[in-house]
């Protein structure tokens, strides 16, 4: 039906609406098909609910798919959420990092994405360098919990 690129808390998602019944929708979010509930909220500007649209739920984070690209769930392995080119690496092995601290920047589909640490800890290993092309799921950085 429709394709969208949306950003939630700095995370970019590719969303395709396959079916929309008004109260439920069948969508594909980053290549994962989901059923989502749809709730219209009143638009304060006009006092009418906006047209029904699905509220895509992001897939459970895979490594490097959290704000804007980190795994979540306490894992310290940060993996590429999509094929991309590394623009800049902001940390080195041995650096102390806070949760959601910038680790590196990648470019995919002509958009720059920040890769943030999923946990506070110490950078054990940086597996990429600036200019390097990475595949989806490729290990970028390992952070040991503090």
In the chain, where the domains are located: 1-59, 77-145
Answer yes or no: are the C-beta atoms of 35 and 24 closer than 8 Å: yes
Query: Does the domain spanning 77-145 belong to CATH 1.20.120.530?
Result: no
Q: What tens digit of pLDDT does each residue of 66-87 get?
A: 344 444 445 789 999 999 999 9
Check: pTM over 0.85? Answer yes or no.
no
What average pLDDT does this structure show over 82-106?
A: 96
CA distances from 58 to 48, 111, 133 (A): 27, 19, 25
């Amino acid at each position: 039906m429709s394709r969208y690129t949306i950003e939630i808390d700095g995370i970019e998602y590719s969303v395709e609406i396959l079916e929309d019944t008004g109260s439920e929708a069948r969508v594909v979010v980053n290549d994962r098909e989901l059923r989502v509930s749809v709730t219209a909220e009143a638009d304060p500007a006009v006092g009418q609910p906006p047209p029904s649209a699905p509220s895509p739920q992001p897939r459970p984070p895979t490594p490097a798919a959290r704000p804007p690209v980190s795994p979540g769930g306490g894992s310290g392995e940060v993996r590429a959420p999509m094929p991309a080119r590394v623009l800049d690496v902001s940390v080195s092995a041995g650096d102390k990092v806070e949760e959601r601290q910038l680790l590196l920047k990648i470019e995919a589909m002509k958009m720059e994405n920040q890769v943030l640490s999923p946990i506070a800890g110490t950078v054990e290993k940086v597996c990429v360098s600036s200019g390097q092309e990475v595949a989806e799921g490729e290990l970028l950085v390992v952070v040991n919990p503090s």
